Amino acid sequence: LEVAERIAAGEVIERPASVVKELLENALDAGAHELRIEIRGGGLRMIRVTDDGYGIPEHELEAVCQRHTTSKIRTFEDLSALHTFGFRGEALASIATIAEITILSRTVEAEQQDDEQAAFWITLRGNEMIQRGRRARLHGTTITVRDLFYNVPARLSFMRGARTENSHILQLVRKYAAGYPATRFTLILDEHLALQTSGSGSVVEALTELYHLSLKELLSPIELSDGAHYRLYGYLGNRILAQHNRQYLTLFVNGRLVNSRGLQEALEQGYRSLLPKGKHPLLVLHIEVPPPELDANIHPAKAEVQLVYEKEITRVLTQAVQSVLEHNPV
């Protein structure tokens, strides 16, 4: 395997939480209602994500780990009409290059054909197929990643302890669970249940389950759209819920968890009269923009986005947050 390939893969996959993010997004893209994430040794020993999505057909199992394989763009035009998350078809290929990966899957169709043994699995290590087989399972996909970075010593030496990696994973899963309240999330860290949501569909309920607080009176809904360039919706936590860092500031753009300085600052600006400096709000906000107005193509690992109408949107965001908080003082 080319050293350059491993380095490139190590750039897409920065740490175990990056693997978890890619696997979660794929499972959500596949329509999962139930998602189970199991982690061992900070994710370096094992990461396993099990979903009940539509599954991967047997003849595609090998291909999904090849670079640029994606079921999410068929034609060039699709690129600008893209609604799903990743579109590069790079995540699984990168993971397979720097770890051992086992993909077990059964499609909804196979299940309808009533063939008990119609779940297929394949294991690759350093992107070479080492084993395959079939067994029974319900429809959906289980992806198990072992020995992450086994062939990227530079990355491995950069890893912090399992506790640090676990806390990155916990924060990430919490954010997704808050953003997708209709999906039931379970996170198990070294055999301990770290988080579980009911998948009821209610954001307030999901947040209550995630943060172990009764939040009902402490959250204000926000919803706004100009009918063309943006739609915003979510919940804003009041000042009692403020934090010392941004770990409870959860922002999705077109369903994808993002890290955007500009948008974060616009939100915090809306809280300015309420929160002292250095305090950050708890909130869950979805921003939907027409796909051509979003460039998520900056860097696959960075979760950064650039919006065509960012300036207008940040202005609207600040105003909307201010006005919601003014009308719901706590």
**What is the SS3 assignment for 176-220?**
HHHHCCCCEEEEEECCEEEEECCCCCCHHHHHHHHHCCCCHHHEE
Cα gap 185→168, rounded to integer Å: 16
Please say which residue, 10 or 55, places its beta carbon nearer to ligand ADP. Answer: 55
Least distance (Å) from ligand ADP to the CB of residue 198? Answer: 22
How many residues belong to the site for ligand ADP (CB under 6 A)?
22
The only residue of 9, 21, 22, 199 in contact with ligand ADP, by rule CB under 6 A: 22
Counting Cα atoms < 13 Å in the Cβ hemisphere of 74 gives: 0
Order of strands, edge to edge, in the sheet holding 140-146? 128-135, 119-125, 100-106, 140-146, 46-51, 34-40, 184-189, 192-196
The only residue of 86, 237, 270, 281 in contact with Mg ion, by rule CB under 5 A: 86
Does 88 engage in binding with ligand ADP (CB under 6 A)?
Answer: yes
The pair of three-digit structure tokens given for residue 327, joined into one six-digit string: 């009308």
Least distance (Å) from ligand ADP to the CB of residue 236? Answer: 31
**What is the SS3 assignment for 139-154?**
CEEEEEEECCCCCCHH
The owner of tokens 């699709």 is 78
Query: Per-residue contact track with ligand ADP, 105 to 144, x per CB under 6 A?
Result: ------------------------------------x---
3-state helix, strand, coil in the chain (%, to 5): 35, 25, 40
Q: Which parts of 32-51 interact with ligand ADP (CB under 6 A)?
A: 51
- Look at residue 229 and give its three-state secondary structure: coil
Beta bridge partners, 146, equal 46, 100
Least distance (Å) from Mg ion to the CB of residue 135? Answer: 25
Contact 27, 53 (CB under 8 A): yes
Cα gap 170→164, rounded to integer Å: 10
The only residue of 72, 134, 246, 279 in contact with ligand ADP, by rule CB under 6 A: 72
Please say which residue, 141 or 183, places its beta carbon nearer to ligand ADP. Answer: 141
Please say which residue, 179 or 237, places its beta carbon nearer to Mg ion. Answer: 179
Does 91 engage in binding with ligand ADP (CB under 6 A)?
Answer: yes
Cα gap 36→52, rounded to integer Å: 9
Does 183 engage in binding with Mg ion (CB under 5 A)?
Answer: no
Please say which residue, 91 or 325, places its beta carbon nearer to Mg ion. Answer: 91
Does 94 engage in binding with Mg ion (CB under 5 A)?
Answer: no
- Look at residue 192 and give its three-state secondary structure: strand
Please say which residue, 91 or 170, places its beta carbon nearer to ligand ADP. Answer: 91
The pair of three-digit structure tokens given for residue 188, joined into one six-digit string: 């198990």
Q: Which parts of 19-48 interact with Mg ion (CB under 5 A)?
A: 26
- Packed helices 310-327 and 261-270: angle between N→C axes, nearest 10 degrees: 30
Does 52 engage in binding with ligand ADP (CB under 6 A)?
Answer: no
Least distance (Å) from ligand ADP to the CB of residue 141? Answer: 4
The only residue of 26, 102, 197, 318 in contact with ligand ADP, by rule CB under 6 A: 26
The only residue of 44, 47, 65, 91 in contact with Mg ion, by rule CB under 5 A: 91
The pair of three-digit structure tokens given for residue 257, joined into one six-digit string: 């968890």
Interface residues toward Mg ion, by CB under 5 A: 26, 86, 91
Interface residues toward ligand ADP, by CB under 6 A: 22, 26-27, 30, 51, 53, 55-56, 64, 69-72, 86-93, 141
